[in-house]
Amino acid sequence: MRMHNPVFRIRNKFDQYFLKDKNIAKKIVKILSFQDYDSVVEVGPGLGILTQYLLNYRNNIFLIEIDGELISFLRKNFSISRNRIIHKDFLKWSPEEVNLRKFAIIGNFPYSISSKILFHILRYNQYIPECVGMFQKEVVKRITSHAGEKTYGILSVLIQTFYEVKHIFTVTKKVFYPIPNVKSAVVFLRKKNNPLHCDKDLLFKCVKTAFNQRRKKLRNSLQLFKHLPNFYDISFLNKRAEELSVKEFLKLTKEIEIRIGYD
């Protein structure tokens, strides 16, 4: 494979750790249900180890890769139409550019931007019923944490608002080339069916503001909203962000939203 060719440059700045183990690649692709969507978007396909198995299930795939050299490699080696092999930073890509309205996301995600990737997925969550991918274990811990746990935070609440999160399996570092410093795990996100009853932007604002001072009681950390009518009647103000469950965050946001409406 080209990764063993000395001419090929591994780009540290693009967080390149290529998966070598084909069985793991197959297993990751098989996690997708391929239901309720036609298209699959792969983030950072690299040399295409996931892509080759993905093509067994769907032709309708879009690859988004930041490294121009890898783009040439993918265009040469995969029979996917050129305009679906997209040379772009995923964080700057929008599904509207290619008119995608429902798709799954897959990837062995670049480690240093995994939180940003998750926020990007959250931004377009209405289009994304499923996501499967490899993250560093620390990020997996964060998105699977519950109230009261040390790693419970902004991403835990926001991801769990929209998705059921399943930790599928852990992989050893040896399955990558080069070998990374961090451990990895594969997670599956499946869209929750219940619709959001509060405003999405306001939810993001409440959660971020509350966790800015995670150990303070909400009556203090949410001072931003104290001008609202009957602010002090809002539920949970005696609790701290780190203690508030996802459900409670949704209720809190709704109560703030109602007061903004009366403001």
Residue ranges in contact with ligand SAH by CB under 6 A: 14-19, 43-47, 49-50, 64-67, 70, 89-91, 108, 110, 113
Residue 207 CB, nearest approach to ligand SAH (Å): 24
Q: How far apart are CA 22 and CA 28, in angstroms?
A: 10
Nearer to ligand SAH, 49 or 252 (CB): 49
How many angstroms separate the CA atoms of 198 and 116, rounded? 23
Closer to ligand SAH by Cβ: residue 98 or 196: 98
Least CB distance from residue 211 to ligand SAH, whole Å? 25
CA gap 225, 80 in Å, rounded: 51
Q: Residue 48: left (phi > 0), alpha (psi -120 to 50), or beta?
A: left
Residue 20: CB minimum distance to ligand SAH, A:
8
Alpha carbon distance 164, 85 (integer Å): 29
Give which of 122, 142, 152 is closest to 248, Cα–Cα.
152
Q: How far is the CB of 106 from ligand SAH (least distance, A)?
A: 9
Residue 36: which of 113, 159, 101, 129 has the closest Cα? 129
Tally Cβ neighbours within 10 Å of residue 218.
24
Q: Is the CB of 37 or the CB of 73 nearer to ligand SAH?
A: 73
Least distance in Å: CB of 18 to ligand SAH? 4
Structural contact between residues 140 and 197, judged by C-beta atoms closer than 8 angstroms: no
Q: How far is the CB of 157 from ligand SAH (least distance, A)?
A: 24
CB nearer to ligand SAH: pick between 86 and 202:
86
User: At what angle are helices 154-162 and 137-144 packed, to 10 degrees?
Assistant: 70
Residue among 65 and 255 whose Cβ is closer to ligand SAH: 65
Closer of 131 and 203 to ligand SAH (Cβ): 131
Measured between alpha carbons, how far is 174 from 68 in angstroms, rounded to an integer?
A: 26
| Least distance CB 11 / ligand SAH (angstroms) | 6
Q: Specify whether the CB–CB gap between 29 and 53 falls below 8 A.
A: yes
Q: Find the length of the chain.
A: 263
Nearest residue to ligand SAH by CB is 44
Nearer to ligand SAH, 91 or 122 (CB): 91
